[in-house]
Structure 1
Amino acid sequence: MYRFILACYGVPKSSGAEAAIDITTEFVEHHPWHSNVTCTWDGERLILQADNDFDSDGLALIDEFSDSISAYIAELFDGDIKIESITNVPTEA
């Protein structure tokens, strides 16, 4: 199992808090292949944490995070998504 922390930089401050709630809901309700998903706003960036067992490099999660950001932030902005960390998490037997 992999645990990812992604961050999107450049998000408009007026949209961040609401987008974090919407993105968390989107992943929980429509992306069941990811678990333990949370998206938070720290005042500067959106931070997505999620676990999955198939995306060792995080590229699929980045793509889905990007799609969600586009869906929930109407204001155009030049953002950048970065992988903050990928951790191999042991699964319970």
Structure 2
Amino acid sequence: MYRITLECYDVSPAEGKEAARDITEAFRLHYPDENNAICTFLDGKLRLVAENDHDPDGLNLMDEFSDNITAYVGAFDGDLKLVSVETLD
């Protein structure tokens, strides 16, 4: 099992808080392979933390997060970064 943390920078405050709620809900409803997914917004950053057993490099989750950013933030010109991948016992 892996715990993956991703961050998306330069999100406007007008969109960030609502996008975080919408992304958390989207992962809960539409991504059954991603466990305990929580998206938060703070200081212009959307942060997604999720657990799964199939993505040791975090690339699949990054792709899914990117799709959701596009859906809930709209025109986006910021950066998306893999912060960490932790192996859980």
TM exceeding 0.5: yes
User: Which has the higher Rg, Structure 1 or Structure 2?
Assistant: 1
Q: Which runs of 5+ in 1 are unaligned?
A: none
Alpha-carbon shift at residue 56 of structure 1 (Å): 0.5
Give the structure 1 partner of residue 79 of structure 2: 80
Q: Deviations over 1:26-81 (max 9, x none)?
A: 0000000000110000132000000000000000000000000000113x231111
What aligned pairs does 1:1-93 form with structure 2 within 5 A after superposition? 1-74=1-74, 76-90=75-89
Higher helix proportion (structure 1 or 2): 2
So what's the TM-score if we normalise by structure 2? 0.96
Alpha-carbon shift at residue 88 of structure 1 (Å): 0.2
- Does the 8 Å CA contact 1:8/1:79 hold for their aligned counterparts? yes
Q: Which amino acid letter does the alignment assign opposite residue 80 of structure 1?
A: D
Q: Which amino acid letter does the alignment assign opposite residue 47 of structure 1?
A: R
Aligned-partner Cα distance in 1 for 2:59–2:5: 12
Aligned residues: CA RMSD: 0.8
So what's the TM-score if we normalise by structure 1? 0.92
